[in-house]
Amino acid sequence: MDLGKLIAKGSEAEIYSNEDKIIKFRNRKDYRIKEIDEALRKERNRREARMLKKAREIGLPVPNVIKEEKDYFIMEKIDGKKAESSIETAKHIGEALAKLHNNGIIHGDLTPYNMIIRKNKYHIIDFGLSFFSNRIEDRADDLLTSYYSLREHEKTLFSSYEKNSKDGKEVVKRMEKIKGRVRYANDKGC
């Protein structure tokens, strides 16, 4: 299979552009036992494709999954520009996180880097770290990741999140506690 042009490479996967499609290929890890490696890649691939499908079902703008195999999947290519840290991006991330969390999905890395703007619409990409959870702690940790990339627009991020989330105030409150623990650990030289 012709994967196309390599456009990004991470520790877990390589991203290829092939005409109007994106192929996410999970790399083999030679240091792992072959059977374990295959099972892990297959499960991570399946989970990410499932998360994209679920996000699409609840109405979020994400790439459509076209084909899924054991170590790669093909999805629709979203042409556009990467979002930047701005009030508008903070508003969209707050809304998107709330909708994901209301449906039990933790994105894991919803930052401007993982949003593409096409025709004034913010599309969410890269569900590689996503998982299902309804725990307040997991939601708060997810929100904290977004906060770190949008600190200068935190008021917009939090108000957008709280307005659209079932447990918004509780999640923001827990996020502040987590942030305090991290700050305390850093002050102790950890």
Per the document, the length of the chain is 190
Distance CA(63)–CA(17), nearest Å, equals: 13
30 is catalytic: no
Distance CA(34)–CA(6), nearest Å, equals: 25
pLDDT one-digit tens code per residue, 44-75: 999 999 999 999 999 999 999 999 988 899 99
Q: What's the pLDDT score for residue 142? A: 97
Please report which confidence band the pLDDT of residue 182 belongs to, taking 50, 70 and 90 as the band edges: low
Q: What's the pLDDT score for residue 184? A: 47
Residue among 37, 109, 141, 167 flagged as catalytic: 109
Contact of 70 with 41, CB cutoff 8 Å: yes
Q: Token digits for 133?
A: 């959870």
For CA atoms 83, 55, 139, 103, the dihedral sign is: positive
CA dihedral 97, 148, 14, 62 (to 10 degrees): 20
pLDDT one-digit tens code per residue, 98-156: 999 999 999 999 999 999 999 999 999 999 999 999 999 999 999 999 999 999 999 99
Distance CA(69)–CA(155), nearest Å, equals: 42
Q: Domains of the chain (ranges plus CATH)?
A: 5-76 (3.30.200.20), 81-187 (1.10.510.10)
